[in-house]
């Protein structure tokens, strides 16, 4: 890494993994409105507390570490972050980072953009843990670990909810007594870092449609869809928490509240219900096979097929609902792990949309994961764009660095 370029670390702490990416900021960013951090290296630890595995590589693909560890050595996120930091420190010895940007899942109603982290910010994020129990505690663990190791290092929180902060009140309301809305019980939306990147990317690769009525399907282990107009979010399928909307890998998606009441009446504790809704439902719960879409598509089990069919059916339904909000549909975009890499899932979803929107796919383009996968006859273009949440975090962190005079 060049010693002349400032270095930014990006930390993305998930429910069972910690990802750390290293970005350098080109000199042009010091006096130019455009900041384009460049990825230099990436490392991650997966299956924390179960089967920990560390992998690290340079941006050109050169692998610098690939090792599995005993569970006791990487039993929690704190241990995982220390280990990955140790590996990366070898390459960063001569050019330490000037800032660290963190993905934070829930920003509540307080945070509509990325912010510098201080004691007050941490306290407000802690209060949001009940709304994102799978993610928020791990996001905060990484923040605290950095503060302990390097207390003077600038840290920036980048929120999955921030891109949706401008939603109309009708898109935020939940039909509970109004006092709960005033107390912050409202629909926030998530995956905002991904959607912000796609909105920016659309402006680069398809400026003719970027300002129109766009629905983006972020389909991964977590899944949601977002309706955009003029590159801004106007509605999302996720709500107060990341449980709402689409069924996901292990999360249930939308559910009749009466079902939750029934579970409680049967004697299940709140913790047990939370564990089931977040960790044992969705594709995993329906199929009884796996939460991994690749495994389900390869399986001959009838319930695996059922789970995939239900997933596609619900995605198509959500697209229809978002089109109502937009008053139509000009472009459909697929992104994230499943959305950008699974032709069969895209085909299943789009098959439900043919009669309503005149969508048809070019089979060869779809199978190749091309940027445009719709046929010439399709009334609505269908695009595939890989997302880059870490890149958006690096960009937001660099902007705050520059605003503070440190870049």
Length of the chain: 407
- Residues in Cβ contact with 300 at an 8 Å cutoff, skipping those fewer than 6 apart: none
Buried b (16+ CB within 10 A) or exposed e, 325-337: bbeebbbbbbbbb
Q: Is residue 160 annotated as a catalytic residue, yes or no?
A: yes
Q: Is 204 exposed, middle or buried (0-12, 13-18, 19+ CB in 10 A)?
A: exposed
- Residues in Cβ contact with 331 at an 8 Å cutoff, skipping those fewer than 6 apart: 202, 206, 209, 212, 213, 214, 215, 380, 381, 382, 383
Q: Is 151 exposed, middle or buried (0-12, 13-18, 19+ CB in 10 A)?
A: exposed
Cα–Cα distance measured from residue 164 to residue 189, given in angstroms and rounded to the nearest whole number: 6
Cα–Cα distance measured from residue 229 to residue 256, given in angstroms and rounded to the nearest whole number: 30
Q: Is 59 exposed, middle or buried (0-12, 13-18, 19+ CB in 10 A)?
A: middle
**Coil/strand/helix, residue 104:** strand
Place of tokens 């697209």: 319
Q: Which residues pair with 24 in a beta bridge?
A: 7, 38
Residue of 320, 399, 405, 403 lying closest to 23 (CA atoms): 399
Residue of 88, 90, 103, 101 lying closest to 25 (CA atoms): 101
Place of tokens 């969508």: 359
Q: Which of 160, 244, 330, 388 is the catalytic position? A: 160
Cα 191 to Cα 160, 226, 264, 395, distances in angstroms: 5, 9, 30, 16
Q: Which residues pair with 7 in a beta bridge?
A: 24
Give the residue numbers annotated as catalytic, written as ranges. 160
């Amino acid at each position: 890494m060049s010693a002349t370029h400032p270095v930014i670390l990006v930390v993305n702490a998930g429910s069972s993994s910690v990802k750390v990416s290293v970005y350098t900021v080109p000199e042009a960013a010091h006096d130019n409105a455009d900041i384009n951090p460049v990825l230099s290296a990436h490392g991650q630890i997966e299956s924390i507390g179960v089967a920990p595995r560390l992998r690290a590589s340079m941006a050109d693909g050169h692998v610098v570490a690939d090792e599995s560890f005993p569970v006791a050595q990487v039993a929690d996120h704190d241990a995982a972050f220390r280990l990955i930091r140790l590996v990366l420190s070898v390459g960063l010895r001569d050019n330490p980072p000037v800032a660290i940007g963190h993905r934070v899942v829930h920003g509540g109603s307080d945070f509509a953009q990325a912010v510098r982290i201080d004691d007050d910010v941490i306290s407000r994020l802690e209060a949001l843990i009940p709304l994102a129990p799978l993610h928020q505690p791990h996001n905060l663990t990484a923040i605290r670990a950095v503060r302990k190791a390097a207390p003077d290092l600038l840290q920036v929180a980048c929120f999955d909810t921030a891109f949706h902060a401008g939603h109309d009140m009708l898109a935020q309301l939940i039909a509970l007594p109004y006092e709960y809305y005033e107390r912050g019980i409202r629909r926030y939306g998530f995956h905002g870092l991904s959607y912000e990147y796609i909105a920016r990317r659309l402006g680069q690769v398809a400026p003719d449609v970027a300002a129109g009525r766009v629905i983006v399907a972020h389909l991964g282990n977590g899944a949601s869809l977002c309706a955009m107009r003029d590159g801004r979010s106007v509605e999302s399928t996720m709500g107060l928490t990341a449980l709402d909307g689409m069924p996901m890998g292990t999360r249930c998606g939308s559910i009749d509240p009466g079902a939750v009441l029934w579970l409680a009446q049967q004697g299940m504790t709140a913790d047990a219900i939370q564990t089931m809704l977040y960790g044992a439902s969705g594709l995993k719960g329906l199929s009884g096979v796996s939460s991994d879409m690749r495994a389900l598509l390869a399986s001959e089990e009838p319930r695996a097929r059922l789970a995939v069919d239900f997933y596609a059916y619900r995605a198509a339904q959500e697209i229809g609902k978002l089109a109502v909000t937009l008053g139509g549909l000009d472009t459909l975009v697929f992104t994230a792990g499943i959305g950008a890499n699974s032709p069969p899932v895209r085909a299943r979803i789009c098959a439900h949309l043919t009669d309503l929107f005149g969508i048809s796919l070019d089979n060869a383009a779809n199978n190749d994961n091309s940027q445009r996968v719709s046929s010439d006859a399709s009334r609505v273009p269908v695009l595939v764009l890989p997302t880059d949440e870490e890149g958006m975090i690096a960009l937001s962190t660099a902007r705050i660095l520059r605003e503070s005079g440190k870049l």
